[in-house]
Structure 1
Amino acid sequence: MSIEQPIPRHPIAPERIAKHEEVAVVGGIPVSTQSLGGLIDRMLDEAPLRRALEQSAYLVFDCNGQGLSMNATDAAFRANLAQADLIHADGQIIVAASRWAGQPPIADRSSTTDMFIDSLVPAAKAGVSYYLLGGEEKVNAACADRIVEMAPGLTVAGRRNGFWKPEEEDAVIDAINAAAPDVLWVGTGKPREQAFCVRNRDRIKAGWIVTCGGLFNYITGDYPRAPMWMQRNGLEWLHRMGTRPKELAWRYITTNPHALWLIWKHRHG
């Protein structure tokens, strides 16, 4: 695993960093209409530039059925979500809803797992460095090893598991800043990861900060992904519930109907 910090390889003018997003309001949340490929290209262009210029980190959160429900029921989560610079469509239902609700159509689903995997080889070629924060220690370590196998030459600037006490948070931030990654991936689950990012965004030296939930477990294979036909038809949640019923059944049983109701309620934006 490479630990050296790469030199910036993207001599892009600061004005190329977009200031505004075209969004579709889905279930009360403004979601970027940008495609998965466009989002990856933008991340790999902007993140090294922001870090090199020591600009504040660009904060990227995701939106799915669970997020819609939590946004409507959890005031602290809603306040943190509102601080994102960009919210992308992690769930197929969000993409479909942008069309049902007569909003600007979201190009396609940008699941965090696909965003991560599809970016690995381009990131390795461009010298864009990643930091992995979250998951159990064995999962985090295995994920770091696995992605270097998937994308030889990828720079993993650093990594840390997702378990720390409040009094250890300063040390977590110090370790991230010592690595100064282009992209910090935070996978500690909703709502903890959003709260961490908002609380520390002005202290973290990174170009982009992207929340990613259980991403590291999917990379290592601890969590199986749904067949492609289920992903395309918005049924990945059903596969997840079937393969991890004790952890996820109640979540989907309660949040999915609520998310559909919220989409209907906010269908006119």
Structure 2
Amino acid sequence: MSLTEKPQYKEEWLNGVRYHVVHRQDIFDSIRWAAENGEGGNIMNVNIHAMNLAYEDPSFRHILNNADMVFVDGAGVKLGCKIARCDVGQRLTPADWLEEMFEMCSQEQWPIFLLGDIDEMGERFEEAMAKRYPDCPFAGRHNGFFDREGEENDKVIDMINNSGAKVLLVGMSMPIQEKWIWDNRNKLTVPVKLATGAFHRIFTGDIDRAPKWVTDNGFEWLYRLAMQPHTWKRYILGNPVFMLRVAWHHILGFRFKERT
């Protein structure tokens, strides 16, 4: 069902980062609008890791604050919003809704392109898509190990544009994926651009996801820490730092100052 008006959502601010108060259907509405109208398709997300990166990196913060949609991904940010008395919508981890998007793409015949990871993983993702969503057009794939500036970058963009893709999944690390989308937003003709991280590895089964009762109760970070102990700084240090910043700016009232 086509939309007659571009979706508009309430904006809130946390630790200097703007996000939108949205729920599950809102993401699908925004994707539909972008796919059908060719605008409003830079869709990104924030978890605690993203908030900490954006606090220290003005260029990344600028990208998030100017994206078409930024949704809350993670119980930690949702808790921070509540502590700061900011409105917050639904926790919308991409792994919870991307497969529903694949169903929508199958119905609407919107081709998907995957950019990121190594060629072997791209091939595994394509095979998994063909098996589980045979009616979803697969426009192509390219690994994430290329020069993201100059001639090689332009060739990758031409490949994506010539593929006829309607939805681009950029599966790189954060903030590389968001910066690449932003830097090339005026060159890309694909209308929907999603920063999806390692979702493709979850989809293929190469990364195990926590049981639903764990994710529903806000402890997915603990499961990831147990499975990937080398990421301990991101969680053991990053989570308290994020909460201290929430308290500093939103409870104690110290105004956020732009870093130069």
TM-score normalised per structure 2: 0.88
Matches within 5 A, 1:15-26: 16-18=5-7, 20-26=8-14
Deviations for 1:227-264, whole angstroms, at most 9, x for unmatched residues?
11221121111111111112x12222222111112222
Higher relative contact order (CA 8 A, sep 6+): 1
SS in 2 for 1:38: helix
Aligned AA for 2:143? N
Partner of 1:135 in structure 2?
Answer: 117
Q: How far apart, CA to CA, are the structure 2 residues paired with 1:213 and 1:11? A: 29
2:225 corresponding residue in structure 1: 241
Equivalent position of 2:258 in the other structure: none
Equivalent positions of 1:100-115 (< 5 A) are 100-106=83-89, 108-115=90-97
CA distance in 2, matches of 1:63, 1:118: 20
Give the equivalent residue in structure 2 for 1:208.
192
Deviation at residue 94 of structure 1 after TM alignment:
2.0
Amino acid at match of 1:103: C
Match of 2:236 in 1: 253
Which residue of the partner structure matches residue 71 of structure 2? 88
The equivalent position to 2:33 in structure 1, one of 10, 24, 46, is: 46
Q: Secondary structure at the match of 1:162?
A: coil
1:240 maps to a residue whose letter is R
Counterpart Cα distance in 2 of 1:42 and 1:200: 20
3-state SS, counterpart of residue 267 of structure 1: helix
Query: Following TM superposition, by how much is the alpha carbon of 1:118 offset from its aligned partner in structure 2, in angstroms?
Result: 2.2
1:64 to 47, 58, 63: 47
Mapped contact 1:95–1:109 kept (Cα < 8 A) = yes
TM superposition shift of 1:187: 1.1
Q: Distance in 1 between matches of 2:186 and 2:30?
A: 21
Quote how far apart the aligned CAs of 1:61 are: 1.2
TM-score by length of 1: 0.86
Instruction: Report deviation, 1:76.
Output: 2.6
Q: Which runs of 4+ in 1 moved over 6 A?
A: none
Give the residue type in structure 1 aligned to 2:137: T
Question: What is the aligned counterpart of 1:197 among 174, 177, 181?
Answer: 181
8 Å CA contact 1:47, 1:206 repeated in 2: no
Q: Secondary structure at the match of 1:62?
A: strand
The CA RMSD over aligned residues, in Å, is 2.0
Deviation digits for residues 99-155 of structure 1 (CA, Å, limit 9, x no counterpart)? 33222231x111122231221112211222211111121111111221232222001
Task: Look up the match of 1:29.
Answer: 17
> Which amino acid letter does the alignment assign opposite residue 60 of structure 1?
I
- Structure 2 residue 102 is matched with structure 1 residue 120: yes
Unaligned 5+ segments in structure 2 are 256-260
Counterpart Cα distance in 2 of 1:110 and 1:79: 22
